[in-house]
Amino acid sequence: SDELTQPPSVSVSPGQTARITCSGDALPNQYAYWYQQKSGQAPILVMYKDTERPSGIPERFSGSSSGTTVTLTISGVQAEDEADYYCQSVDSSGTWVFGGGTKLTVL
Amino acid sequence: QVQLVQSGAEVKEPGSSVKVSCKTSGDTFNNYAITWVRQAPGKGLEWMGGTIPMFGTAKYAQKFQGRVTMTADESTSTAYMELSSLRSEDTAVYYCSTELLYCNRTNCFTIKFDPWGQGTQVTVSS
C-alpha cells in the first residue's frame, strides 16, 4: 500500500515520552518528514529525512526509522507539545503523501 | 531564512476559479521548489503538487490533474496556485511551502519542506 498509517491519537502525561508511529510500505526506501500543527495554525516541520531536527526545534524531539515504520519521539513531553502530528513521505509513483495525522493529548 | 506570505481569504461560487499567491522573501527561488498543500475543515493534509521556478517545471497530484496550475514569477518572487471548476469539496485552507532541494547534473533531491505560509482560506459556496 502507498498509504501512510498513523494512530489517530496518543495520550501521555507531562514529563513522559510520547511515541508517534507512521507505517508505510515505501518507507524503507524513502525519507519521512514530520510536522506539528496546533489548532488554527500552519504546520511546522519538526523532523526531516527521518532523523534530522530543524534549527529551533527542541532537542526532546527525535526521529527514528526501522523497516516500514518511522517514529517521532518526544521525550519529557510538555503541555505546549499538544498538537496534531503528520508524517509525510513519497509513494511508489513519486507522489508526496501524508499520514492521516495523530492527535497528541497531554493529560 | 525564507519567509512566505500568502494572499487573503477567498469566497468563490461553484464552477469558478481561484488563484492563491505566495510571496517569498529573504531568499530567491534558487534551489527551492514551491509546494502546495490543502486541508479541508477537520481533515488532514493533502499534497496538491509543486513547481520548481528555476526550471519552470510543475508536478501535480493525479487528483488535481487538469484542474490545477502552479506557476512562479521570479521577478516578484511570487508563486501562484490556480484551481478551476471549484466545487464545495474544495473548501479548505491552502498552504504553500518551500521545498529545499539539492540538485546535481541529473536529478533533484528534497532536503526539507520549511517554512510554510500562513494559509489561505478558500470557501466555495453559492
The whole-angstrom distance between B113's CA and the closest CA on chain A is 7
CA distances to A22, B12, B35, B53 from B92, rounded to whole Å, are 24, 12, 16, 25
Angle at B39 between CA B62 and CA B113, to 5 degrees: 75
Determine what percent of chain A is predicted with pLDDT higher than 90: 92
- Whole-angstrom distance, CA of residue A103 vs CA of residue A8: 6
What's the average model confidence in pLDDT over B19-29? 85
Query: Which stretches of chain A drop beneath a pLDDT of 70?
Result: 1-2
In the numeric block, the cell 495554525 is attached to A41
**A100 neighbourhood in chain B, CB within 8 Å:** 44
Residue A2 has a pLDDT of 66
The whole-angstrom distance between B88's CA and the closest CA on chain A is 21
Residue B97 has a pLDDT of 96
Dig out the grid coordinates for B126 from the structure. Answer: 453559492
Neighbours of A74 (CB within 10 A): 23
Asked if the C-beta of A95 comes within 8 angstroms of chain B's C-beta atoms, the answer is yes
Cα B96 to chain centroid distance, Å, stands at: 4
A58-79 residue pLDDT tens: 999 999 999 999 999 999 999 9
Residue A94 has a pLDDT of 82
**Which amino acid is residue B100, in one-letter code?**
L
Q: Under a CB-based contact definition with an 8 Å cutoff, are residues B50 and B33 in contact? A: yes
Which of B20, B22, B26 is closest to B90 using CA atoms? Answer: B20
CA distances to A34, B32, B99 from B102, rounded to whole Å, are 19, 9, 10
The three-state DSSP-derived secondary structure of A36-53 is EECCCCCCEEEEECCCEC
The whole-angstrom distance between B67's CA and the closest CA on chain A is 17
Which of A9, A63, A57 is closest to A33 using CA atoms? Answer: A63
B38-69 residue pLDDT tens: 999 999 999 999 999 888 899 999 999 999 99
B73-125 residue pLDDT tens: 988 999 999 999 999 999 999 999 999 998 888 888 899 999 999 999 999 99
Regarding beta strands B92-103 and B68-73, do their DSSP bridges make them parallel or antiparallel, or are they unpaired?
unpaired
Q: Which of the 8 DSSP states describes residue B99?
A: E
Asked if the C-beta of A14 comes within 8 angstroms of chain B's C-beta atoms, the answer is no
The answer to whether the CB atoms of A42 and B117 lie below 8 A apart is: yes
Q: Which of the 8 DSSP states describes residue B64?
A: G
Q: Report chain A's C-alpha Rg in angstroms.
A: 13
Residue B28 has a pLDDT of 66
pLDDT band at residue B1 under the 50/70/90 scheme: confident
Residue B26 has a pLDDT of 66
Regarding beta strands B92-103 and B120-124, do their DSSP bridges make them parallel or antiparallel, or are they unpaired?
antiparallel
